[in-house]
Amino acid sequence: MFTRENLAKAKRVVVKVGTSTLTHNTGKLNLWRIEKLVRELADLANQGKEIILVTSGAVGAGMDVLGLKERPKTIPEKQAAAAVGQGRLMHTYEKLFGECGQVVAQVLLTREDSVKRTRYTNCRNTLLTLLKMGVIPVINENDAVAIDELKIGDNDTLSAMVASIVDADVLIILSDIEGVYTDNPQNNPDAQLIGEITDITPEIEALAGGAGTLRGTGGMYTKIQAGKIAVNSGVTMVIASGLQDGILREVLSGKNVGTIFLSKENRLQIRKKWLAFGARTQGILTIDKGCEQALLSGGSSLLAAGVTLVRGDFEHGNTISVVTMEGREIARGIANYNGADTRKIMGAHTNEIVSILGSKPYDEVIHRDNMVLLV
């Protein structure tokens, strides 16, 4: 597990940079800041580190070319701006990295690349091969073709998915804010920066606000959700200010900057990482306190008796979410019964399932081998 003390030893590093860091208030690319970022990343690569860059900015770059004064609001407008801006953004990266002697590869991803197991595996193999070849992958969500159902949601989530897929040591999210605060620092001058988070509790989630700037889409809430993916995949995550020169060097040297989210010690297996964070959830099961304790103690399957509420019209084999009475998600797994049948048997003992459904294909609603805990 990587902490402040040993971050310098991190070998595989994913860096995410947001729109607000890459662009001016006018919406045009901030070439000075992009060049600083590229030189810092290239220097890390020269040290022998494997670097993956997850970048926003395609829509912003397109806004400049199209003469738009504010970020497009409709999906078609965003797609048009991204289609125009993606090439321009990539050309900028290719030129600047090339001047530093580094080769880059453009990788565009959609939600489908994580939902479908084969594409998830292919994505992992491609990225690992590029790293092995000494290439720096430059990744963005494929905004030009993605629609709401296919979008990963924001590049914070995308970066955490990528870090999970490639078994990164650390994910660094560069933002226009220094990290997680005890309150909104824009409204409360007494808000304090939280230097280290060991567990993403409901209280930590409650500290997150909404979307950030006019040009960006990822508020602190999406960054904390990204943190959930990262730490449960064995990846340490750091949120730090992308406006500060040399910030990557400071983070990786262990200096007390930003907010560090300490990873869980045990990395999830590839299949379970896909199950937890790649597959799209189709339903939600609320469980009682006794069931919650049984699951968290480890080794238990989810039985119908512990289910108190079923939401969603999921099918057998779909991935579903398991939440506590307070609404906190603690697990995900593959459903043995569809939503309608799960509603019929919820609260029932295993030996009562036959009399309720006429048959009993499974003893468990979710078998422990097909379930991953998220706490």
Q: Is residue 136 domain-shared with residue 33, that is, in the same domain?
A: yes
CATH number of the domain encompassing residue 289? 2.30.130.10
Same domain, 237 and 120: yes
pLDDT tens by residue, 307-331: 999 999 999 888 899 999 999 999 9
- Average pLDDT of the chain to the nearest whole number: 86
Are 227 and 305 contained in the same domain? no
- Per-residue confidence (pLDDT) for residue 228, from 0 to 100: 87
Whether 46 and 137 map to the same domain: the answer is yes
Tell me, yes or no, whether 265 and 314 share the same domain: no
Name the band, by pLDDT with cuts 50, 70 and 90, for residue 269: low
> In terms of domains, do 188 and 335 share one?
no
Answer with the one of 236, 271, 306 that is the final residue of a domain.
Answer: 271
Q: What is the pLDDT at residue 267?
A: 62
Beta sheet of 371-373, edge-to-edge order: 307-311, 281-287, 319-323, 329-334, 371-373
Confidence check: pLDDT of 236 > 80:
yes
Angle at 102 between CA 98 and CA 108, to 5 degrees: 90
pLDDT surpasses 80 at 238: yes
Task: Pick the range with the lowest mean pLDDT from 99-103, 191-195, 205-209.
Answer: 205-209
Question: Are residues 65 and 151 both part of a single domain?
Answer: yes
Where residue 271 falls among pLDDT bands split at 50, 70, 90?
A: low
Give the whole-number percent of the chain exceeding pLDDT 70. Answer: 88
pLDDT at 268: 64
Is residue 143 over pLDDT 80?
Answer: no
Q: DSSP 3-state assignment of 212?
A: coil
Give residue 220's region: left, alpha or beta (phi > 0; psi -120 to 50): alpha
Q: Does residue 311 sit in the same domain as residue 210?
A: no
Same domain, 284 and 258: no
The mean pLDDT of 226-250, rounded to a whole number, is 91
Is 195 in the same domain as 288? no
What pLDDT is stored for residue 79 in this prediction? 83
Higher pLDDT, 62 or 275: 62
Residue where a domain stops, chosen among 245, 271, 297: 271
Average pLDDT over residues 112-120: 66
Q: Note down the domain range covering 74.
A: 4-271
Q: Cβ distance 232 to 24 under 8 Å?
A: no
Residue 196 scores a pLDDT above 90: yes
Q: Is 310:335 a contact under the CB 8 Å cutoff?
A: no
Residue 236 and residue 293 in one domain? no
Q: Residue 149's pLDDT is what?
A: 43
Is the pLDDT score of 18 beyond 50? yes
The mean pLDDT of 105-116, rounded to a whole number, is 76
Whether residues 257 and 295 fall in one domain: no
pLDDT, tens only, 28-86:
788 999 999 999 999 999 999 999 999 988 888 888 788 887 878 887 888 888 889 88
**For 244, how many CA atoms within 13 A lie in the half-sphere containing its CB?**
18
Single-letter code of the amino acid located at 85 = G
Q: For the chain, what is the domain count?
A: 2
pLDDT above 90: residue 107: yes
Q: Are β-strands 371-373 and 329-334 bridged in parallel, bridged antiparallel, or unpaired?
A: antiparallel
